[in-house]
Amino acid sequence: MHSLPPLAYPYDSLEPYIDEMTMRLHHTKHHQAYIDNLNKALEAYPELQERPLESLLADLSQVPEAIRTAVRFHGGGHLNHSLFWESMTPGGSELQGQLAAAVHQAFGDLAGLQENMNSAGLKHLGSGWVWLTLDNAGQLQVESTANHDSPLAEGRTPLLVNDLWEHAYYLKYQNRRGEYLATWWSVVNWPVVVRRYERALGSG
Ligand code: MN
């Protein structure tokens, strides 16, 4: 059975960029609900409970049709939130290493990547996620996905992700998604993103 991963930092530690109440509700209520619904969907399929979620989401055709929509939504909700919590750290961090060079090459500089992701996040209609991913050719891509869809389904590896659902920012930012997106960079956990990048390159 899937269970809620603990946060590596306290709920109030991303203040003032993300408020404590949002973090607490987001983690203990929203994320937990996706896990509960995923477990319910997998109840009758013990062999799928043992499979890594990444592999199910990368090829949903292996998932029985009766639960495919539920696994796509709630499984994606579980995995995306897990990646999202790890993508943040109190006080933020600096982009370094091999990924810094790749970001400079693909987007000019870090500000170029930030503008790209902010713009993709702002233009995205409705709920979803905005991502920095790595494609099969080893190129960095900025993209957004609807609902809880994963870039894994398109063969791309998630590196960095921000949550575009209103529950992620509404208490503090209300309708100002652009302000939330711009502010969020203050809490990005680059060392984790760099590790994901190096792991993806190593396995590619
Ligand atoms: Mn969320």
Higher pLDDT, 38 or 202: 38
- Burial label for 16, CB within 10 Å (0-12, 13-18, 19+), is exposed
**From the CB of residue 103, how many other CB atoms can be counted at a distance below 10 Å?**
21
- Percent of the chain scoring above 70 in pLDDT: 99
What's the whole-number average pLDDT of the chain? 97
- Tell whether the model's pLDDT for residue 203 goes beyond 70: no
- Residue 127 pLDDT exceeds 80: yes
107 within 8 A of 95, measured Cβ to Cβ: no
Q: Please report which confidence band the pLDDT of residue 202 belongs to, taking 50, 70 and 90 as the band edges.
A: confident
Spacing, Cα 177 to ligand 1 middle (Å): 14
- Asked if pLDDT for residue 142 goes beyond 90, the answer is yes
Spatial contact of 103 and 109, defined as CB atoms under 8 Å apart: yes
Ligand 1 center to 50 CA (angstroms): 24
Distance 34 CA to ligand 1 centre (A): 10
Long-range contacts of 108-117, Cβ-Cβ distance < 8 Å, separation of 24 or more: 113/140, 113/142, 114/182, 114/185, 116/142, 117/142, 117/160, 117/162, 117/181
The answer to whether residue 154 scores a pLDDT higher than 60 is yes
Q: 63 alpha carbon to ligand 1 midpoint, in Å? A: 24
Q: What is the pTM of this model?
A: 0.97
pLDDT digit string, tens, across residues 52-72? 999 999 999 999 999 999 999
DSSP class of residue 189 equals: -
